Amino acid sequence: MSAMREFTVNVSKLLGSQAGTEIYIELNADAQSLGVPELQGCISGSLRILKGTKDVMVVGSVLTDLATPCRLCLDPIVKSTEIELEGRFVDSLAEDIVPESPNYDPDVFPLDVSGNLDLSDLARQCIVSSIDPNIDCNGSCEGYDAVLSAFGSDISDDIDPRWEPLKGLMKRSVDMESQQLKGDD
């Protein structure tokens, strides 16, 4: 198992092998280099890199601390989070990378000609998509009760007033359907 300290790993030896060959790497890198403000400390984990016939797959999980603002008081909540990484890399000249190509795949990452995988975009995308936008400090801050009382009750039960007209529409639809069922009897 090889180790890496940055988000780039050279897989040129893997590319020279047959399809189905895999290597394992340990990731231990500074989270700040990804430019995601919620990241704290470092990112560490194990990744499996598998050579396909025309691509390289990266699969694994990493552990990092995320500081996400509470949805009510906006105080940061630091939480250790395990994040699954999965991505497909192809030659940087392949049709899958070119947006004008009929084979374009926006979820594919480029593999440079020297055989380097830059895992930073993959890690950034997986981390950002794993951030919980509805995290709640559950009263651990001073302003929590004040903000909660401004909503009048448990906010998880409140309905956004903009959706209120749809509530009436749904009730009418259910009433019409039940009348039709009674008429079919």
Using the Cα atoms of residue 142, residue 71, residue 135 and residue 63 in order, give the sign of their dihedral: negative
What is the distance between the alpha carbons of residues 178 and 38, in angstroms, rounded to a whole number? Answer: 50
Tens of pLDDT along 56-72?
999 999 999 999 988 77
Q: Which two tokens stand for residue 80?
A: 């250790």
Rounded to an integer, what is the distance from CA 174 to the centroid of its chain? 37
Give residue 155's pLDDT.
47
Q: Where are the domains of the chain?
A: 1-185
Give residue 134's pLDDT.
83
| DSSP helix/strand/coil, 31 | helix
Assessment of whether the complete model's pTM goes beyond 0.85: no
Cα separations in angstroms, 46 against 22, 29, 38, 87, 155 = 13, 12, 21, 14, 39
Rounded to an integer, what is the distance from CA 5 to the centroid of its chain? 22
Average confidence score pLDDT of the chain: 81
All residues at 6 or more sequence positions from 105 whose CB lies less than 8 Å from its CB, including other chains:
88, 96
